[in-house]
Structure 1
Amino acid sequence: MNGARIWDISPPVDAGAPVFPGDAPYRHQWAARMGPGCPVNLQTLTLSPHTGAHADAPLHYDDAGAAIGMLDLAPYLGRCRVVHAIGVRPLVRWEHLAHAADTLPERVLVRSYQRAPVGRWDPALAGFDPEALERLADLGVRLVGIDSASVDPADSKTLDAHQVLRRRELRVLENLVLDDVPEGDYELIALPLKLVTADASPVRAILREIR
């Protein structure tokens, strides 16, 4: 794979990173600074595990669900397909995905934005129609991803798409940045941290060209 092109599909994480209203914003403070008697700089970070590109754990939407650090890593690594559904609101339905559904790999990432809102919260974000997730699971998909902050509409109280993830044991990535990624197949690498009690984890998500 030497020389294969890499797409970084993670948004920047800093004090301007948007989070779900009410969630913990990103903050950092210096625990130590280089100077006489101190050879290093050292920061303390405070952030939600849903900051930036992240993987939700079943614990996020199921009290009995597994924490993110207890999950098998295999779904987060391997061949994936990027599908464009640009401008689709409020739900990405099967009809928006069907054109790219032949011989699907086990991972599907959906681009819904022309330009992802990496510096602001978007209350009109695109989610997944639960039926579309059911169809993907029926076709053997193990992981779904989207460039919005949630697979459900921001004002949803029933979290119907999340409940399909739970029932069908699908893994999920949210807050990806797919602005410059053409439709097609890639190698996905987006490993969550081994946070053994957390309901989610930030990931550094990348796509690598398949040759």
Structure 2
Amino acid sequence: MANWIDISQPLTNDMAHWPGDTPFRYSLTYSKEETGSVNIGQMTASLHTGTHVDAPFHYDSKGKTIDMLDLERYIGEAVVVDVSQHDEINMDVLKKADLKGKTRVLLKTSLPNNPKNFPDNMPTIAPDVAAYLQEKGVTLLGVDIPSVDQTDSKELATHHALYNHGINILENIMLDHVETGVYELIALPLAIHGADGSPVRAVIRPLDIEERNR
């Protein structure tokens, strides 16, 4: 069996965060020397830190929170698609990829995976991908950029388009070291009651033809 590949950003005190949002911080609350038995740590962070899942409540106050989402969408076969030749990823770009029978799509864009740098510019995911992905039966879209919308967007057109077409969102995965192809994905969000998102540990492993045909 092939080894698992980590496609999540490591959580470090010097990692980049969304401008104006809460940065990630980990520290020891009590040391083993203080307690006599254990080290006990604490962390603070935005729920959209590093590799994370957006809940619909993030951009729709009436949408489902993270603890209400279908976990099946974050476990199973996924296809990694290279769209790094395009500054805008739209329906026409995705039509060039073989998405037949694929319910989870992970997009490898031109943005270098650098967890310690928040990009000034990043590729655009056009809203029209949502209807096309739904037509193909896709229920999860993963991207290796901080957001499916641009940093300065207030309308969040692509977030809403994906939501309206029944497609969940996984952001800030790392695919620079990953070849295109079919994988098994595990990217489970935490069951944080009432929350708008959750960091995840996202991992994939290559699937051979026999496994894909089971």
Give the TM-score category using the shorter length. Answer: over 0.9
Instruction: Output the CA distance in 1 between the equivalents of 2:138 and 2:61.
Output: 24
Q: 3-state DSSP class of the match of 1:83? A: strand
Which segments of 5 or more consecutive residues in structure 1 lack a partner in the other structure?
A: none
- Let me know the Cα RMSD of the aligned residues: 1.4
Residues 85 and 111 in structure 1, CA contact (< 8 A), matched pair in contact too: yes
Q: Identity over aligned residues, as a percent? A: 38
For 2:30 and 2:136, the matched residues in 1 are separated by: 51
What's 1:175 paired with?
Answer: 172
Please give the alpha-carbon distance, in whole angstroms, between the structure 2 residues aligned to 1:157 and 1:37: 47
**Letter paired with 2:26:** H
Residues 96-175 of structure 1 aligned to structure 2 (within 5 Å): 96-113=93-110, 115-175=112-172
Amino acid at match of 1:167: N
Helix, strand or coil for the counterpart of 1:197?
coil
Tell me which of 27, 50, 57 is aligned to 1:29: 27
CA shift at 1:99, angstroms? 2.0
- Determine the C-alpha separation between the residues in 2 that align with 1:36 and 1:159: 48
Question: 2: distance between equivalents of 1:100 and 1:208?
Answer: 20
Q: Report what 1:55 is aligned to.
A: 53
Tell whether the 8 Å contact from 1:105 to 1:141 is kept in structure 2 after alignment.
yes
Deviations 1:140-179 (A, max 9, x none): 1000010000001111111100111221121110000001
Once the two structures are overlaid, the 10-residue window that deviates more, 132-141 or 34-43, is: 34-43
CA distance in 1, matches of 2:58, 2:111: 28
Confirm or deny: 8 A CA contact 1:55 1:203 kept in the other structure. yes
Q: 1:41 and 1:207, CA in 2 relative to 1: closer, same or farther beyond 3 A?
A: same
1:186: which partner in 2? 183
2:206 is the alignment partner of 1:209: yes
Task: Please give the alpha-carbon distance, in whole angstroms, between the structure 1 residues aligned to 2:85 and 2:113.
Answer: 11
| Structure 2: gaps (5+ residues) | 209-214
Cα distance, 1:87–1:118 mapped onto 2, change above 3 Å: farther
Q: Distance in 2 between matches of 1:59 and 1:41?
A: 35
1:75 partner SS = helix
Q: TM-score scaled by structure 1?
A: 0.93
Aligned residue identity for 2:205: R
Tell me the residue number matched to 2:14.
16
Aligned-pair CA distance for 1:102: 4.3
Q: What is the count of residue pairs matched by the alignment?
A: 208
**Which shows bigger deviation, 54-63 or 96-105?**
96-105
Instruction: Look up the SS of the partner of 1:130 in the other structure.
Output: coil
Residue 212 of structure 2 is matched in structure 1 by none
**Separation in structure 2 between the aligned mates of residue 79 and residue 131 of structure 1, nearest angstrom:** 24
Counterparts of 1:176 and 1:191, CA distance in 2: 13
TM-score (norm 2): 0.92
